[in-house]
Amino acid sequence: MTRVFVYEYLSGGGLVDGDPAASATLLPMGQAMRDAIVRDLLRANLGAVTVATCAAAGPVPAGTQAVCAAPGEAPEVFVARQAARHDLVWAVAPESDGLLAAMQAAVGRTRWLGCDAAAIALASSKGATLARLRAHGIATPHDLADEASRWVVKPDDGAGAVATQVWTSRAAAAADARRRENVGAAAWLEPWVDGEPMSLSLLARAGHAELLSVNRQRIAVDGDGLVRYDGVDLDCVSPNDPRRAVLAALAGRVAAAIPGLSGFAGVDFVWHPARGPVAIEVNPRTTCAFVGLSERLGRCLAADIVAARRETLHA
């Protein structure tokens, strides 16, 4: 019997930037990911499933065992403690502040259901990720610098739309980036890409990727230029849409550029009206697009992810 531990950072008691209010706002998304993973694992009938939770989170799905971190226990210490008691660990955490990397290091390669350490390290930097993709001929925002009318500043290691600000001039954006860097925050500045914000959901392994779905991201920019993430619409590009083949090729090129991507991963991009897909970032972990995707596709993604991981380990 396989013992699987599921840890999602927010529903497991983690805080975003140490901010309880921000964490409470994002908790429903985290809990939805947690529960989607758990339900899929139960459908896969792999064995016993243990789920990290906390007082603020809702009840874990029936048929599982709930565990909580000890008071004051660091997330990576909690995950390491549970990893020693389980055969596989499926962890979801932001890349910011090295959290996801710390989780992977705490668990170790053989138990970890996800991307390897090198892929996580690369994708934890917006700048490093885009440099790698550009080196492999993939379009990125800086390819549109000469025509940009707006610029965006975000944390270099940020996740989602946290602390993401759009400016109408490069000078204002550069000033924002300097302010952040002056207080010790790593900032990333890039041209704002006009078009349709979208994402790819991938099942990746050994430098290859299956394109599971193309999703539409609901992104809003308020009157002050603050970017807000309002959710995702799953599988919005049908197999007979001409864009699908282009995006399947993009998925393969991203996986080849970052061969340590493994299991579920996401690629955020903008479909530019003239240039097609422009890559924004790579998410080396489960994303919000996982929620409901197995049902949408009529397959058990958890079973596929575990099987792919076992094949990789024994290759």
Encode pLDDT of 286-305 as tens digits.
Answer: 999 999 999 999 999 999 99
Predicted confidence at residue 219, as pLDDT, reads 97
Of residues 17 and 179, more confidently modeled: 179
Which tokens in the block code for residue 300?
A: 């058990």
Predicted confidence at residue 315, as pLDDT, reads 63
Which tokens in the block code for residue 108?
A: 């170790």
- Residue 116: count of CB within 10 angstroms of its CB: 17
Spell out the domains of the chain, with CATH numbers in brackets: 2-113 (3.40.50), 115-315 (3.30.470.20)
Q: pLDDT tens, 86-143?
A: 999 999 999 999 999 999 999 999 999 999 999 999 999 999 999 999 999 999 999 9
Q: pLDDT tens, 58-101?
A: 899 999 999 999 999 999 999 999 999 999 999 999 999 999 99
Q: pLDDT tens, 243-258?
A: 999 999 999 999 999 9
Using the predicted structure, report yes or no on whether residue 17 has a pLDDT greater than 80.
Answer: no
Distances (CA, A) of 215 to 26, 110, 113, 209, 265: 20, 31, 23, 16, 13
**Phi, psi (rounded to 5 degrees) for 111:** -95, -15
Predicted confidence at residue 21, as pLDDT, reads 78
Using the predicted structure, report yes or no on whether residue 45 has a pLDDT greater than 80.
Answer: yes
Q: Is 214 exposed, middle or buried (0-12, 13-18, 19+ CB in 10 A)?
A: buried
Those residues with Cβ within 8 angstroms of residue 216's Cβ, 6 or more apart along the chain or in another chain: 196, 197, 198, 232, 233, 236
Which tokens in the block code for residue 10?
A: 């927010």
- Residue 17: count of CB within 10 angstroms of its CB: 12
